[in-house]
Amino acid sequence: MGFSSKVRNIYQEQLEEIINGGIYKEERFIHSSQAADIEVEYPIGSKLEKVINMCANNYLGLSSHPDVIKAAHEGLDTRGYGMSSVRFICGTQDIHDKLEKKVSEFLGTEDTILFPSCMDANAGVFEAILTAEDVMISDRLVHASIVDGMRLCAAMHDTFKHSNMKHLEKKLQLHSDKRLKVVITDGVFSMDGDTAKLDEMVELCEKYDAMLFVDDSHSTGFIGKTGRGTHEKCGVFGKIDIITTTFGKALGGASGGCVSGRKEIVDMCRQKARPYLFSNTMAPVIVAGVLKVLDILSGSTERRDKLETNSDYWRKGLQEAGFVLKEGDTPIVPVMLFNAKLSQDFSRDLFAEGIYAIGFFFPVVAKGQARIRTQISAGHEIHHLDKALAAFTRIGKKYNILGKSKKEIIEMYGL
């Protein structure tokens, strides 16, 4: 009973600050399965609206694919619902091993270890393989889960400017006395949709005897000619020492993640990574689903090809309408609005037009970098994209930002 009015007030004040700052996050309830067309309750308590989802990580449209659902049902029927144990006690089934081997084959790595999520993979991997004699050198825009993983590790931490190879090389020279060096990056950066320069990074890592770590959560399944990820796109397949990725995005979107790479690294994680040792791994039903997803993707590139076509169509459409976009060639297409309130107003207007896309602003992105991050899916048809383009264009006109430059939009709305 230590929750006195003094304690309550402290939290209430902090929550009020968040509300007054206009950055209080509210959730919207989806009443359907995840797909291009969803039914949403928003604001909470109002009647359901049918809208087009433009902001899911459902890149390949597999979240509700009938074959994946069927495989998951079979997994449930043959292997049960839960493991009630961590891996090294009695929480490992044959299908966990099968999935690890299949992921290694798909990513072109020596071995793979499953985690409850990619957040957990990133939380566990650095501490398992590095000590205070070592250094982690990370891109300044890596995902929050990597930042947390580095915090849990005793190795020294340094950063390099986003995708700046000259700066990375300087840092590699600066830390040449360390026992082990790991260069750390996202494959595709989630907020901007740009791709890391993995070809140059591999070269630098070879030159300075450093390992390369890539989190390919926004790539696995669809980036590269056969969807293997950014290492395929950048021509360095088989050359990444440590890949982490998620099954919670393109690969069916349920949950789960992994560390994949050199077999000694994977083995060290099996012995020492705390989220692996002290938390249940993926449930059998999800393992069965991801196995089916990898079967589908290994058999055909149809889905990633359609995703590429859709993404090009969408990007070109927005460009022609006159929006300011972030450069890139991935299914992540940020529509830049710069001002936080404008991004919220824009998102609300989109919803009224049947388009679901969320405004992102500080602290999710830097101050003055507010945006609507759109994400394209192979589950979208051209009619979805056309309807969304028409809505974006109407609302862009309403706020008078079409054909305007960054500078002009900031002059109108401020930062």
Ligand X SMILES: *Cc1c(COP(=O)(O)O)cnc(C)c1O
The residues binding ligand X (CB under 6 A) are 117-119, 122, 143, 145, 186, 190, 215, 217-218, 246, 248, 257
Q: Least CB distance from residue 271 to ligand X, whole Å?
A: 22
Beta bridge partners of 126: none
Q: Least CB distance from residue 395 to ligand X, whole Å?
A: 27
**Nearer to ligand X among residue 142 and residue 389 (C-beta):** 142
**Nearer to ligand X among residue 332 and residue 340 (C-beta):** 332
**Nearer to ligand X among residue 227 and residue 248 (C-beta):** 248
Residue type at 317 in one-letter notation: G
- CA–CA separation, 398 vs 182, rounded Å? 48
Q: Least CB distance from residue 218 to ligand X, whole Å?
A: 5
**Nearer to ligand X among residue 274 and residue 387 (C-beta):** 274
DSSP 67-80: HHHHHHHHHHHHH-
Q: Which of 63, 104, 190, 311 is catalytic?
A: 190
**Total count of residues recorded for the chain:** 415
Q: Would residue 218 show up in a list of annotated catalytic residues for this protein?
A: yes
Q: Which of 96, 249, 292, 384 is catalytic?
A: 249
Q: Least CB distance from residue 343 to ligand X, whole Å?
A: 20
**Nearer to ligand X among residue 122 and residue 374 (C-beta):** 122
Q: Least CB distance from residue 146 to ligand X, whole Å?
A: 7
H-helix or E-strand containing 182?
A: strand 181-186
Q: Would residue 190 show up in a list of annotated catalytic residues for this protein?
A: yes
Q: Which of 102, 218, 233, 384 is catalytic?
A: 218
- CA–CA separation, 400 vs 352, rounded Å? 18
Nearest to 314 by CA among 370, 223, 382, 406: 382
Residue 74 — φ and ψ, nearest 5°? -65, -40
Tell the residue number behind the tokens 């976009």, with chain if given: 325
Residue type at 126 in one-letter notation: F
**Nearer to ligand X among residue 109 and residue 217 (C-beta):** 217
Torsion sign (Cα): 151, 156, 161, 165: negative
Q: For residues 237 and 226, is the Cβ–Cβ distance under 8 A?
A: no
For residue 180, what is the DSSP state? -
Q: For residues 28 and 41, is the Cβ–Cβ distance under 8 A?
A: yes
**Nearer to ligand X among residue 252 and residue 317 (C-beta):** 252
Q: Least CB distance from residue 248 to ligand X, whole Å?
A: 4
DSSP 41-73: E-STTSPPEEEEE-S-S-TTS-TT-HHHHHHHH
Residue 31 in tokens: 């009443």
Residue 332 — φ and ψ, nearest 5°? -90, 115
Angle at which helices 66-79 and 284-299 cross, to 10°: 140
Residue 71 in tokens: 């495989």
Q: Would residue 384 show up in a list of annotated catalytic residues for this protein?
A: no
- CA–CA separation, 396 vs 322, rounded Å? 9
Residue 139 — φ and ψ, nearest 5°? -60, 145
Residue type at 280 in one-letter notation: N
Q: Least CB distance from residue 188 to ligand X, whole Å?
A: 8
**Nearer to ligand X among residue 17 and residue 148 (C-beta):** 148
Residue type at 15 in one-letter notation: L
- CA–CA separation, 85 vs 317, rounded Å? 50
Q: Least CB distance from residue 332 to ligand X, whole Å?
A: 10
Q: Which residues are catalytic?
A: 190, 218, 249
